[in-house]
Chain A
Amino acid sequence: MTDTLFWHRLHFGFTVTYHYLFPQLTMGLALLIVIWKLKAYRSGSALHDEAARFWARIFALAFAVGVVTGIPLEFQFGTNWSRFSHFAGGVIGQTLAMEGMFAFFLESTFLGLFLYGEKRFGPRLHLASAVALWVGSWLSGYFIIATNAFMQSPVGHTIDSAGRLQLADFWAFVLNPWAIWQYLHNMTASVVTASFVVASVGAFWSLSGRHHEHASLALRTGVIAGLVASCLMVFPTGDRQGKMVAEHQPATLASMEGLFESTPGAELAIIGQPNVQQRKLENPVVVPGLLSFLIYGSFGSTVTGLDQIPHDRWPDNIELLYYAYHVMAGLGTLFIALMALSAFQLWRGRLERSRPLLWGLMLALPFPYVATTAGWMTAELGRQPWLIYGLMRTSEGTSPRVSAGNALFTLIGFSGLYLVVGIVFLYLVGREISHGPASLRPQPRMPRTLGLAGEVR
């Protein structure tokens, strides 16, 4: 295994996938915390305030891991992908630098205030800092998506005499239509993740007969937000995203769907295994004409298949791309079903008596993570063989002076470190969940000796 490109790709793929497990929770959770804080602020509900406090603790843990695992990514553009940085830094450097200036400073400032300041600075400033955290984290998401969108569908650039990309139209670049739909799709997905986590914890408490009020609130918030977000995932955001892929990256769409031949009335493969050598889908279960309908709005339209695309422009791992997409789309559909059923029972006031449904919600915890990871794999594998679609191939972007051995060495290091970090994180979050929000109440027996930052004089 001396393929340098392979190790560089795995290196980035691993660190970015791991990193994104954390921000997807914090971005979604930030919104839910704002909702609880608003409710508490308006109605003075102690329950909502307590819920916000409890989830802020989970937020803080995930945020800390998200921050420290995010720093390597910016570095890796330079360390592992130096030719890419050299080529594209003039354009994508804009959004990356703006993320630091406009999102990270905001987040880091108000995180301190949010975690330390409730007792000292009062409910109004605490609510404001929750809102600032939400805005900061969602802004950060936008800058990253805009960067990725440029790599998926470059706009607003020129190529200078030295053959490097330069910014030509700032607004075209920042308001890339690809970025807008991808952003909405991604952010609703992060709300799905957070809602599922909240609902899952609520179901756990409910099933184990603990923290009754909080279990109900978590279930209520998680199920309602989860249903809304799951639906928005599919329509309009997922739908528009798919149409954009069809328009700008036909090779990607064909590979996602396992469509080897262009056909009018293209069928949508629900299940099947792509056989790339023989260019066919094995054991297919398909819906005739549906793919054409989803993309062009008519059952008879012709969808471009891989046969129309030169072989050297095919994504290089069609099988994995196909499965990633199908896992994402399949899970997305199941999410709507689970949340719709739960919402129906919630509406009838029976959710907490429906034990099978509670079990389902509780055990659903990992699946939004699987779905978002699969979604990002669809986007990134689908972009291959390009690093910047149509402008730079992935094989042309690596650092010429960093050997496969060096990349593997640091990949092993990251794997070990992240494994430890993951174990500690899960231990701490598990501990919080089993203590529950009630543990945050003042203990009457125990004098409150160590308050919050109220001690800072």
Chain B
Amino acid sequence: METLWFVIVAGMLAMYVVLDGFDFGVGFLHLMVARTEVERRTVLAAIGPVWDGNEVWLIAAGGALFMAFPAAYAAGFSGFYLPLMLLLWVFILRGLSIAFRGQVTDPLWAAFWDTTFFLGSTLIAVVLGVAVGNVFRGVPLDSTGTFHIPLFATFWPGTRSGVIDAYTALVGVFTLAALGGHGGLYLAMKTDGPVQERSTQAARILWLVAGVLFLLVTWSTVHVAPELTAIAGQRPLVWILAALVVASVAMLGIGLVREQAMLAFVGSAGTLFTLLGAGAAARWPVLLRSSLGPSLSLDAFNAATSPHGLRVATIWMLVGLPLACGYYLFITRLFRGTVRLETPPVAPSLPEPADDAQALQPFPRLGQ
């Protein structure tokens, strides 16, 4: 039961990274691939119907972690107090930038929210990677089952390092590149014209960078968490997932070379998902690794809720998960295809009536 919930929580988090990951990637690339007002709005329209739902995976995964492993939730969230709070602020501003941008037709207003969207998305992508880095490197969990960690302390990873050190920062940069590539492919799939060209180009470069960084990350993970790699090598599941990573990367590569955006995007999503899956499989059953000693780590067994609670939750999860996936398929099917904004036939120098120029925003003017 504990293992099942370890899989559920890890799967939901991986789902979150794959889905909201492309939103962050889109935000990261936004200013570069979309230059005109129409292009910017097209890009926002591409994620418009889905970004909010993608974000729900984080909330749902958080809820599942809270329910299934309260001890890990309590220790992890209070231990990462300040970084989480800073992350929340960025989250708030970024979410509002998508919601508010289209409300007022004004270049200054749009520029402000565009920049907020870019900065917010970029920061969150890096922070997601830093978080993953911390999970692998470990935190100073002591015998009270709690820890406190500064934002930064030493450059090289060790027992006294803060949230950000050389290793976690490296994972952060890797994540930014990978999610940027992922988002680029999403745009390549959902747009056409110059935006599509630039996005494809960006995705190609970013995934290449991510590939190089990944080798570095793997190499340093072996050094930062040696026992982890030792265990991982003995687990068949890790090897299976690693093989799937390779297969996904191959798909991604073929898609990129042949310029088949859909294929490349599926490969990119598969790469992220299986990579996180392999990481989780290698780490099982550890949830929060203690850098002070393996016996102090919180794992799926010593942090879990009672088996009865987990059984009950499994039952409603069997209803909830298919529903969530069903909604998602439903909405992506409804909004399938390329997003295209028509260029206004009126001369752009004419001031547009504010009320009529809001279309295709995440929160559009309705009823035209």
Contact = CB atoms under 8 A, between A and B. Distances in A.
A450 B357 contact: yes
B364 A109 contact: no
A1 interface: no
A93 B366 contact: no
B52 A111 contact: yes
Interface stretch (B67-75, B200-208, B232-240, B265-273): B67-75
A65 B103 CA distance: 14
Interface of chain B, main secondary structure: helix
Interface in A58-93: 60-61, 64-65, 67-69, 71-72, 74-75, 77-80, 82-83, 85-91, 93
A214 B45 CA distance: 30
A406 B82 contact: yes
Interface string B88-102: 110111011001100
A447 interface: yes
B108 interface: no
A96 interface: yes
Interface string B25-58: 0000000000000000000010011101101101
Contacts of B356: 443, 446, 448, 450
A45 interface: no
A7 B29 CA distance: 39
Q: How big is the A interface, by class?
A: 35 or more
B77 A440 contact: no
Contact of B323 (A89, A102, A455, A456): A102
A67 B353 contact: no
A270 interface: no
A109 B359 contact: no
B349 interface: no
Contacts, number: 302
Contacts of B258: none
A170 B309 CA distance: 8
Nearest to A441: B367
B104 interface: yes
Contacts of B334: 113, 117, 121
Interface string B275-313: 000000000000000000000000000000110110011
Given A80-B78, A453-B49, A101 B71 contact: no
A453 B362 CA distance: 10
B275 to A, nearest CB: 24
A99 interface: yes
A348 interface: no
A429 to B, nearest CB: 10
A399 interface: yes
Interface of B: 45, 48-50, 52-53, 55-56, 58-64, 66-71, 73-82, 84-85, 88-89, 91-93, 95-96, 99-100, 103-104, 144-148, 305-306, 308-309, 312-313, 316-317, 320-321, 323-324, 327-328, 330-331, 334-335, 337-346, 352-353, 355-360, 362-368
16 contacts: A57-B363, A68-B92, A71-B88, A74-B66, A75-B84, A77-B66, A80-B78, A86-B75, A90-B67, A90-B306, A100-B64, A102-B323, A401-B146, A450-B344, A453-B49, A453-B335
